[in-house]
């Protein structure tokens, strides 16, 4: 059961989002206790979102016999996933309020958005909205968790939203056929494989460029290099998505651009507090 829970939490995204939140907290100079509370809060929230996804999607996953899903492989039961998702969700929405009401509400937006996506928005043209809200609120949560009355700069929220929507589009690309077979019709499915393969890296590269250009003052050379590299890789990904829509390369390259966007955000985040 432990292995099933570990796999069902969507380990990769959970680790990446939690690590990103901790990196942002450290980059903005948060005290050690704040960093720990931020990391624990985000980890609990992401566990809840991941487990609720596999719990709610279990009938679809069983219908198409997805071999990568622990429920299909018999490693964990639906009831265990449901209970774990609820417990982690309650803990992940309560703990952030120890960092203040504003921080608590910001993280509540993150968790609620993830659950809203899993509960039905993923199958509508509004599938992008929970990603925009959650990833926009996530850096805001970190900034609002800091001691004092600092507020997140608007560009930080914007970069988070661009990263979220771009990651959503890229993440769905490999599963478009399975989703279509089970009636999922989110924005990427409405747009189609070719437009989605082009739009995902464009949004992610735009997020990286915003991280370079939006903060006050001249950007550092390292951040400029990261932003330029994100633009180049994004252009290649978009071109491949346009010319070869069935290739997995646009997804892979979009993930590279997402990583570069994260690096640019963390490198520039010291200007995130206003």
Residue 271 has pLDDT above 70, yes or no: no
Mean pLDDT of 172-199: 80
The Cα 47–Cα 44 span in angstroms is: 5
Instruction: Please give the C-alpha separations between residue 239 and each of 186, 199, 225, 242, in angstroms, as whole numbers.
Output: 23, 10, 21, 5
The Cα 65–Cα 103 span in angstroms is: 40
pLDDT tens by residue, 210-241: 888 888 777 777 888 888 888 888 888 878 77
CB 35 within 8 A of CB 26: yes
The Cα 243–Cα 8 span in angstroms is: 34
- For residues 160 and 248, the model is more confident at 160
DSSP bridge pairs for 152: 273
Write out the chain in H/E/C secondary structure. CHHHHHHHCCHHHHHHHHHHHHHHHHHCCCCHHHHHHHHHHHHHHHHHHHHHHHHHCHHHHHHCCCCCCCCCCCCCCHHHHHHHHHHHHHHHHHHHHHHCHHHHHHHHHHHHHHHHHHHCHHHCCCCHHHHHHHHHHHHHHHHHCCCCCCCECHHHHHHHHHHHHHHHHHHHHHHHHHHHHCCCCCHHHHHCHHHHHHHHHHHHHHHHHHHHHCCCCCCCHHHHHHHHHHHHHHHHHHHHHHHCCCCCHHHHHHHHHHHHHHHHHHHHHHHCEC
Q: Supply the pLDDT for residue 257.
A: 79
DSSP bridge pairs for 273: 152
Between 31-35, 36-40, 54-58, 66-70, the lowest mean confidence (pLDDT) is in 66-70
Instruction: Please give the C-alpha separations between residue 89 and each of 100, 113, 153, 261, in angstroms, as whole numbers.
Output: 18, 12, 28, 28
pLDDT tens by residue, 118-153: 998 988 999 999 999 999 999 899 999 998 887 888
Q: Supply the pLDDT for residue 272.
A: 62
The Cα 197–Cα 96 span in angstroms is: 36
Residue 1 has pLDDT above 80, yes or no: no
* pTM of the full structure: 0.88
Tell how far CA 244 is from the center of its chain: 26
């Amino acid at each position: 059961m432990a292995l099933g829970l570990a796999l069902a939490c969507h380990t990769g995204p959970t680790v990446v989002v939690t690590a990103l939140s901790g990196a942002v907290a450290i980059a903005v100079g948060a005290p050690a206790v704040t960093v720990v509370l931020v990391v624990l809060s985000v980890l609990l929230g992401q566990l809840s979102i991941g487990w609720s996804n596999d719990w709610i999607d279990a009938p679809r996953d069983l219908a198409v016999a997805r071999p990568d899903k622990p429920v299909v492989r018999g490693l964990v039961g639906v009831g265990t996933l449901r209970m774990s998702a609820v417990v982690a969700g309650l803990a992940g929405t309560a703990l952030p309020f120890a960092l203040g009401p504003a921080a608590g509400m910001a993280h509540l937006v993150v968790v609620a958005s993830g659950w809203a996506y899993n509960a039905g928005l993923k199958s509508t043209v509004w599938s992008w909205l929970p990603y925009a809200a959650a990833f926009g609120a996530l850096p805001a949560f970190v900034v609002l968790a800091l001691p004092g009355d600092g507020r997140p700069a608007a560009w930080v929220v914007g970069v988070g939203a661009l990263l979220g929507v771009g990651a959503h589009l890229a993440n769905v690309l490999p599963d478009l056929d399975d989703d279509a077979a089970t009636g999922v019709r989110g924005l990427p499915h409405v747009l189609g494989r070719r437009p989605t393969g082009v739009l995902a890296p464009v949004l992610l590269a735009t997020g990286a460029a915003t991280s370079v250009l939006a903060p006050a003052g001249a950007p550092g050379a390292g951040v400029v290099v990261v932003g330029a590299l994100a633009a180049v890789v994004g252009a290649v990904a978009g071109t491949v998505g346009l010319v070869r829509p069935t290739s997995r390369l646009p997804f892979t390259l979009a993930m590279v651009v997402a990583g570069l966007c994260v690096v640019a955000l963390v490198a520039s985040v010291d200007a995130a507090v206003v």
